[in-house]
Structures are given as C-alpha cells and as structure tokens.
Structure 1
Amino acid sequence: MTPSAACIQLVQRFEGCAKKQADGRFVAYPDPGTGGDPWTVGWGTTGADVKPGVIWSQQQCDARLAKDLASFATQVAAAIGTALTNQHQFDALVSFAYNVGIGNLKGSTLLKQHKAGDYADARTQFARWNKAAGRVLPGLTKRRAAEAALYGS
C-alpha cells in the first residue's frame, strides 16, 4: 500500500508548512512540545540534517514530505505484516507513525489491537498519544481524533 491523498492531506493539515519567511522559504524551528530537539522544518520533517539555521524552499519541503511518507509507508506495511488493513486504516497508521515515530507505533497497543483484528479498540488507542514532554497538547488531541476518524471510516 501507498499513502493516499487523504493521508497526505492529514499530515499536511496537522504538520503545516510552518515558519515561512518573507522570501517564501521555511526556517527550521524547535519542537513545540520540548522547545528544542527534534528540530523541524517544512511539513514536520526532522532528522540529523534538520537543525537551527536550516532553511528550505517550498519545493524542498514538498519533496522531503513525499520521500518521508514513502519511507514511513514501507515501515508501517512491514509492522502490519499480513494483518487485514484497508486504505483508511493504513493512512491513519502512516500519519500516526510520521508524527510519533515508527518505534512508538511498533511498541503500541494500537498496533497490537490492529493486528489482532480488534479495530474498535485500536481506534480508541489513538487518543492515548496526545502528550509531548508529559503534557497534553490540544493540537495532538485534535490530530489523534482526526487519525482515529480516518482509521474508522
């Protein structure tokens, strides 16, 4: 499976392409939950190449999002294995993993319940992941609700 337009739109809606400068380029910014690492640029891109002072064009932001989503899709597909998964479930899981990391998805009750075919409980598990640095963040609460809605649609 590959991420659908619904997945891309969901990620873009919640990640935003933030910190646009007057010249149309985007500057890296600290994680809103920690005030530091991981630094982020564009559509929520993090990594060793994203640090203070990094500036990307819109084209760089869009290209990296496409590359990262393809990578997350491959990793999510491997984590799901042979479990029955529809496109909306896959898209929600890719968005989730993009935000919290593939390691967190792999160790989650959300994935365990999905693989067990308990889709109703899996859907409720999204809501548990609304904290950063131990604090509930309203943006994460909204994102998890949107992911759960997509998962269940």
Structure 2
Amino acid sequence: MDISPEGIARIQAFEGLKLTAYQCSADKWTIGYGHTAGVKAGDTMPPGQAEAFLREDITLICLQLDILLKVTVRQNQFDALGSLLFNIGVKAFAHSTLLGKLNAGDEAGAAAEFPKWCYGTVKGKKVALRGLMARRQQEKARFEAVELSLMKAPHRVTA
C-alpha cells in the first residue's frame, strides 16, 4: 500500500518546508520536509531536492509499514500511521503499544494511543508540545475516519 496524495500533503503541512538545516525538538538536524538522514548544521537545499527527499522518505515509510503491519488497514489508517511513523521514527513505532494493539485487532485501542505521542525534550525536560498534540489529534481523526464511499446510503426507488 502507498500513502495517498492527500496523506502526503498532510505530512508536508505538518512538517513544513525548511530549506536550511535546523534542529528539531528531538535535537536532530532536519531539512526539507522533515528529512534527517545525513543532515548537518549549515546544510541548505533547493525546493526540488526537498521534494526528492520527501519521495524517498515516503517510500521507506511505506516499506516499513508493509513489514510491521500484520493486519489489513484502510487507506485513511495507512495514511495516519505513515504520518506518525514519519514523525517518530521506525524504532519507536515498531516498539509502540499502538502498533501492538493494532496488530492484535484492537483498532479502538490503537486509535487511543495517538495522543500519547505528543512529547518532546525541551531544555532537558520531557514536555507535551502543542504542535505535536494537534498533529496527533488530526492523525487519530484520520485513522478513525470512515471512508465516505462506505457511508453512502443505498439508493431507494419509490413508486
């Protein structure tokens, strides 16, 4: 499965585009749309490179989800999980209670885990970050969404 164009657009909006390297709340050097591999202080890039890194990062996220997910998920769920994994990293996601609950068939329990991933380290202290709280609420809502095509009422013919 792939992250949908809407899912990618959400990740871009959450991450924002920064063409100069910066340290994120986890103290990792980051550039583009949340790209961290090989980034160091002082790095810069053109927008086209940021798009290329994003495509590469999304491909890796999809591969990891295909490996880690033991259950079938809907597109909206895959998009939400991809956004979370993009942000917290493979190691954290692979060992998460969220993934464990989902793979055990507990979708509601998995959804309830999203808000727990809102913490970052600021000045050596673990704190809830407003931006991550908002992101997790949106990811949770996307994960829980019922696809509109499933919600359509059957057409009735009246005489």
Distance 2:94 2:48 in 1: 31
**Residue 23 of structure 2 is aligned to residue 30 of structure 1:** yes
Decide which structure has greater strand share.
2
Number of matched pairs: 141
Match of 1:65 among 54, 69, 79: 54
SS of 1:27's partner is strand
RMSD value, Cα: 1.0
TM normalised by structure 1 equals 0.89
CA contact (8 A) 1:76 1:102 kept: no
SS of 2:32's partner is coil
Residues 57-87 of structure 1, C-alpha deviations (whole Å, 9 max, x = no match): 0000011001100111100110003x12111
Match of 2:88 among 86, 97, 100: 100
Match of 1:148 among 124, 129, 140: 140
Q: Which runs of 5+ in 2 are unaligned?
A: 146-159
Residues 91-135 of structure 1, C-alpha deviations (whole Å, 9 max, x = no match): 111110110001111111100111111111111100000001111
User: 5 Å matches for 1:1-150?
Assistant: 1-18=1-18, 26-31=19-24, 33-34=25-26, 37-47=27-37, 49-81=38-70, 83-133=71-121, 134-150=126-142
SS of 1:28's partner is strand
Q: Which runs of 5+ in 1 are unaligned?
A: 19-25
Identity of aligned residues (%): 35
